[in-house]
């Protein structure tokens, strides 16, 4: 049974006693606030935007209230839409489909596949930078070049991550946004890994679009969001054609007037439970002392990284300098060991869950493994890596257990 004490706080997370989850970056455990919001809805949920019954009307209100909460939490402006999606991948694919014809997207090679693969042909992929200053300079130069070469008036979108899912390193979002803005480009931030760790605000960062996943933000699976400027979204073909996305459909085959607003891209019956759970976490995080949460996480992260650094057979993967700001994610390789074997043994012998592989960021992970081998002088690093990631439910004991377990692979 999940271990949730009766007096649990909204941001306590559910878990299974004895199982150490150090894989928050893949999917974070469910926060008490989200579990409570779902439990409250279960007895009375009914259709959203479709029924006339009292329960259905109440559900429609709950769904739209969730939209407002999520928008407020991420600093949505008056002309932004909050579109509920399945996850970040879905949100970025939706944005890719809504780009005006001829849009060039500029991104970095170190992105998660969700922010590499949806973009149209002709997109520019900048090399992985050596530090955050280089990232800003590279974007500046690429956008200047595009402005010279591209047809005037064609849109440009700079799309980059807020924090790397491989290294946890934070990207200089505000600086990159400032540069993009100066060149007249729009800005999309993949906030899948940033949002669970620090406040992310569209207005404060001056970015146009944010993509987030509820399941990385302590809500259950199935709900994410694309939040951002309404004009392209309202002009685009609906992401999912069908019921709910239409204002009117006539008898003729092509006689259809699509809805304007979030509904245009939310065809089909909406995921009320997912939206409400995500909103509940947003509310709980809004009420929390996020600076204190951040400080606690940074202490645990430092303990984790110091523990790894003290193991001569374990090499950390990183793009930037060791002290660059980062969220609670560390990737590493164990010399002489296949990463999947290490992960399996951590699970079997130590009840510790981590991730192994290339983390859906193959170009970056492969490059960092090669660099790690050069930096450490170890010729026996494996071709894939391991990743430990922490969050609200992580403790010093979890970190220490991982380090002690990794020591046994010497």
* CB of 335 or CB of 358, closer to ligand PMP: 358
- Name which position in 59, 114, 143, 278 contacts ligand PMP (CB under 6 A): 114
Q: From residue 255, give the alpha-carbon distance in Å to each of 120, 237, 247.
A: 29, 14, 11
Q: What are phi and psi of 25, to 5 degrees?
A: -70, -25
Mark the segment that binds ligand PMP (CB under 6 A) among 10-18, 81-89, 315-323, 333-341: 81-89
Two tokens at 362? 């193959």
- Name which position in 60, 69, 87, 132 contacts ligand PMP (CB under 6 A): 87
**Would you count residue 112 as binding ligand PMP (CB under 6 A)?**
yes
**Would you count residue 170 as binding ligand PMP (CB under 6 A)?**
no
**Would you count residue 85 as binding ligand PMP (CB under 6 A)?**
no
- Name which position in 60, 69, 89, 104 contacts ligand PMP (CB under 6 A): 89
**Would you count residue 169 as binding ligand PMP (CB under 6 A)?**
no
**Would you count residue 185 as binding ligand PMP (CB under 6 A)?**
no
CA dist 236 and 258 (Å) reads: 10
Angle, helix 32-41 to helix 272-287, in steps of 10 degrees: 140
Residue 358 near residue 366 (C-beta atoms within 8 A) = yes
Closest distance of CB 24 from ligand PMP, Å: 11
* CB of 21 or CB of 115, closer to ligand PMP: 115
Closest distance of CB 115 from ligand PMP, Å: 6
**Would you count residue 331 as binding ligand PMP (CB under 6 A)?**
no
Two tokens at 101? 């014809």
Mark the segment that binds ligand PMP (CB under 6 A) among 188-196, 256-264, 283-291, 399-407: 188-196
Of 201, 268, 261, which Cα lies nearest the Cα of 233?
261
Exposed, middle or buried, 152 (CB in 10 Å: 0-12/13-18/19+)?
exposed
Mark the segment that binds ligand PMP (CB under 6 A) among 83-91, 102-110, 125-133, 152-160: 83-91
CA dist 107 and 114 (Å) reads: 11
* CB of 27 or CB of 246, closer to ligand PMP: 27
**Would you count residue 193 as binding ligand PMP (CB under 6 A)?**
yes
Q: From residue 228, give the alpha-carbon distance in Å to each of 84, 163, 215, 315, 372.
A: 12, 19, 20, 39, 38
Closest distance of CB 328 from ligand PMP, Å: 13
**Would you count residue 69 as binding ligand PMP (CB under 6 A)?**
no
Decide if 30 is catalytic. Answer: no
Mark the segment that binds ligand PMP (CB under 6 A) among 51-59, 82-90, 130-138, 150-158: 82-90
**Would you count residue 197 as binding ligand PMP (CB under 6 A)?**
no
Measured distance between the N- and C-terminal CA atoms of the chain, rounded to whole angstroms: 35
Please calculate the CA angle 251-254-256 and round it to the nearest 5 degrees: 75
Is residue 389 within a helix (H) or strand (E), and if so which, with residue range?
strand 385-389
* CB of 66 or CB of 188, closer to ligand PMP: 188
H helix and E strand count, the chain: 12, 15
Q: Annotated active-site positions, please?
A: 360
Q: Which residues bind ligand PMP (CB under 6 A)?
A: 87-89, 112, 114-115, 161, 165, 190, 192-193, 213, 360
């Amino acid at each position: 049974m999940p271990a949730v004490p009766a007096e649990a706080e909204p941001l306590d997370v559910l878990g299974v006693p004895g199982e150490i989850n150090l894989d928050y970056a893949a999917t974070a455990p469910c926060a008490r606030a989200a579990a409570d919001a779902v439990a409250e809805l279960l007895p009375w949920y009914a259709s959203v935007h479709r029924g006339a019954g009292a329960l259905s009307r109440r559900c429609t209100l709950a769904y739209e209230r969730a939209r407002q909460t999520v928008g407020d939490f991420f600093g949505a402006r008056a002309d932004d839409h909050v579109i509920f999606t399945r996850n970040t991948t879905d949100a970025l694919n939706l944005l890719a489909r809504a780009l005006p014809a001829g849009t060039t997207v500029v991104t970095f090679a170190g992105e998660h596949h969700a922010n590499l693969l949806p973009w149209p042909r002709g997109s520019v992929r900048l090399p992985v930078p050596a530090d955050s200053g280089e990232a800003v300079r590279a974007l500046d130069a690429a956008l200047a070049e595009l402005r010279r070469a591209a047809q005037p008036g064609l849109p440009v979108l700079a799309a980059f991550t807020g924090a790397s899912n491989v290294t946890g390193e934070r990207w200089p979002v505000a600086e990159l946004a400032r540069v993009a803005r100066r060149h007249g480009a729009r800005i999309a931030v993949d906030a899948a890994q940033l949002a669970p760790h620090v406040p992310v605000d569209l207005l404060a960062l001056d970015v146009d679009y944010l993509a987030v996943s509820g399941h990385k933000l302590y809500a259950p699976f199935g709900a994410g969001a694309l939040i951002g400027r309404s004009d392209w979204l309202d002009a685009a073909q609906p992401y999912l054609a069908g019921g709910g996305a239409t204002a009117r459909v006539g008898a003729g085959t092509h006689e259809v007037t699509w809805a304007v607003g979030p509904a245009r891209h939310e065809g089909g019956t909406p995921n009320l439970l997912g939206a409400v759970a995500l909103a509940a976490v947003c509310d709980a995080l809004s009420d929390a002392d996020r600076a204190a949460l951040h400080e606690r996480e940074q202490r645990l992260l430092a303990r984790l990284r110091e523990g790894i650094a003290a193991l001569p057979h374990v090499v950390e993967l990183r793009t930037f300098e060791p002290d660059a700001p980062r969220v609670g994610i560390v990737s590493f390789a164990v010399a002489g060991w296949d990463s999947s074997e290490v992960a399996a043994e951590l699970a079997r012998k130590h009840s510790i869950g981590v991730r192994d592989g290339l983390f859906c960021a193959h170009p970056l992970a492969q490059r960092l493994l090669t660099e790690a081998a050069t930096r450490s002088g170890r010729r026996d690093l494996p071709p894939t890596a391991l990743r430990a990631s922490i969050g609200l439910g992580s403790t010093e004991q979890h970190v220490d257990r991982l380090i002690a377990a990794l020591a046994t692979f010497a």
